[in-house]
Each structure stands twice: as C-alpha cells, then as structure tokens.
Amino acid sequence: KVMETLAILLLILFAGTLYNIIPPYIKRKKTEISFVDSLTKTGLPIIPVKSGNTQLYMLVDSGSDWSHIDKKVINEVKAKQLEGGNQISTLGGVVSAPFYQIELDVKGEKMQETCLALDFGDAFKSTEEEYGHEIHGILGISFLEQHNYVLDFDKFIAYQK
C-alpha cells in the first residue's frame, strides 16, 4: 500500500513538473531568417533587425565569440551599458570595448544580446560603397547559441531549433 501511494505521489509530482516546464517550449515561436538576398548581393550573410525604431543590418559571423555593435549607432538603439568589457585584437592593435545589453527585434521576436561596442571605422566601408549595404554590427556565436540559431548554408537561412 505504501509503495502504491508513493508511486502515485511521484507520478503526480512528475506530471506537475512537466506541466510547468514543457509549455514555454511548445508555445515559443521559432524564427527563420533568410540571408539569401544579402549573400547573393554581397557574398556576406547579413540579416535585418530592429532595435527600438532603428533598422540595423547585422553580419552573422559564427567565427566571432561575441556580438559587436558599431559605436556610431549605440545612442540610436535600445542599449544599456554593462559593467566590464573586453580587449579586442584588431588590425589597428588591441582596443578596449565596453559591453552593452542591446534589445533586438528579429522578425517580431524581442531578444536581448550582449554586444561589445567598437568603432568599426572603415571596416565595412567597401561593403557599403560597393553594395549599398551598411553593416551596423556582428552577431557572433554568443547570439547563435543563446537564441538556438542554426545556420543552414544549403537554404541560406538561420533557423531556431
């Protein structure tokens, strides 16, 4: 009798746990982002996102540990400076970059991303001049992992798993 009661209690506990854990995963909207247009035009996987009312074009770079935002747009986006920063090696040497929490709207889904703010200077000037596509930042592996994105270069999309 004790074993039956214990088994029933464990079953109820398990069912209650599942009821509280599973629904967010079922209800979560999964976003799919195409970068076929930018890849065709520029050879680069660039995706459009918004931050507040500001339209941004972000380069998807799975080789970058962190996401980055150009300092020149930091005051135009929904951003909050965080404590700390990181040292970044660039072609011009090592620079110090502060962390910012940026609110991004990716196809209607609000996401938070920690970015390092850097002065991109002329780094993407040729992309803008040659293709008319300004790049405001880089979405690195931190973004892909945190938001469960997978890059599919057969279909030229980033999708959430």
Rounded Cα distance, 75 and 88, in Å: 21
Q: What is the pLDDT of residues 60-98, one digit of tens each?
A: 999 898 999 999 899 999 899 998 878 777 777 787 889
Average pLDDT over residues 18-28: 54
Token representation of residue 119:
């002065």
Q: What is the pLDDT of residues 98-138, one digit of tens each?
A: 999 999 999 888 999 999 998 887 777 777 888 777 899 99
Q: What is the pTM of this model?
A: 0.76
Query: Given the structure tokens 């709207």, which residue do they identify?
Result: 105
28: pLDDT strictly greater than 70: no
Rounded Cα distance, 48 and 138, in Å: 11
DSSP secondary structure code for residue 60 in this structure: E
29: pLDDT strictly greater than 80: no
Q: What is the pLDDT of residue 125?
A: 79
Rounded Cα distance, 126 and 74, in Å: 22
Q: Which of 27-31, 40-44, 110-114 has the lowest mean pLDDT?
A: 27-31
21: pLDDT strictly greater than 70: no
Q: What is the pLDDT of residue 39?
A: 81
